[in-house]
Each structure stands twice: as C-alpha cells, then as structure tokens.
A and B are shown apart, each in its own frame.
Chain A
Amino acid sequence: ETVLTQSPGTLSLSPGERATLSCRASQSVTSTYLAWFQQKPGQAPTLLIYGASSRATGIPDRFSGSGSGTDFTLTISRLEPEDFAVYYCQQYHYSPFTFGGGTKVEIK
C-alpha cells in the first residue's frame, strides 16, 4: 500500500501567516492522482486541490498545490480565520487509495 506521510502533525500559526503543509509518498504517485482536502469538526471533507495543483470549484486562490513524484505541498498564502482545520492529502493512483494522517492547522 502507498503510505502518505504528512508533516508537520500540527502547525500553529496566526491569521495572515503563510502555511506550508507537506505530503510524502512511499512510492512515486502520478500528479494527476493527488488531492488535498480540508476537514472541519463535524463536517465531511472538502476537496481543495486535485491533480496536485488544480483548485476545485469555489476554492479561493490563497490555496495552492505543487509537487511531483513522492513530494507534494499544500500552501495557504495568507491564513484566514476559516482556514484553521485539518488537512489531508490523498492518492488515488494505486489501490487502496490512501490518505495521509492529516495536518492540523491551529491558531497560535
């Protein structure tokens, strides 16, 4: 199974700051099949990024994705209050489709 390792586990930042989240895969993943999700307490995940770098419909442009092969990054350019949440990467290249363990972005 393709293991996705997200770091850091928790990111403590202030509104307005830049957030950089990492997702490392145990084997190379085609960028087409790498996604990022945001999840808030009590809610279903929301797709932010698909294809490693394409924003889903309605997602603000402060969210951006990059990377290839085994290393992928989600960047939030300037944190808004509503951005404090848990973020997951996911690969859907190899079965089983796996998620990373998540990065919690919390208010400092």
Chain B
Amino acid sequence: GAVVSQHPSRVICKSGTSVKIECRSLDFQATTMFWYRQFPKQSLMLMATSNEGSKATYEQGVEKDKFLINHASLTLSTLTVTSAHPEDSSFYICSARDSSGGKETQYFGPGTRLLVL
C-alpha cells in the first residue's frame, strides 16, 4: 500500500513552547490530509481536514489558533501545536487521501507521540 511518513515520531517539550509535526505522502499526491488525535485505548478523533492550498477545516471543539495546520504542497502537511500544555500530550496521527484511479483510500502515518512537561 501507499506510504505516509510522520516526523518526529516522538517529541518532549516544555510547557509554553510550540511543536511542529510533519506529515508526508511518499508515493502519491494527497490533495487532502487529515489530522487525528488519539488518547490511550481510545479511537481516533478527527481534529481537522487539510486541503492543499486552502485553509484547513476544523472539527467542532478544536481550536484553530492552537493547532495550526499548513498544507503547502501535495505531499506535505504540517500541524503546529502552539503554546503547548500538558493536556496537549497525546498521540497525533495524520492520514492522507489517495484518490488516484478513483479508489479513494486513506492511509495513515505512524503517529507522533507528544509529551508536554
């Protein structure tokens, strides 16, 4: 299947700092990428939908000024957690939509573990 990478795989930061997470589709172009958050032993919670060249669409309850999303190219989307606090500690997972050949499949990245001290 298609490959989606995330960087970094894990990050520890101090409270009040900002952290940037990159999501790349390695072998296909993704006009749409998604950002999810996952708490331990829970399902995936969609945070926002990122469309290349336009503003992201945020789910209800997700602060767009805190979770900045940029989708500058067809293979790269970034999520920046601004002024991070301990409650932002979580597993962040991106996914990319592969619509080539009309198949409409979603592939996930390996996730980024964020720990805010």
Q: Do A and B bind each other?
A: no
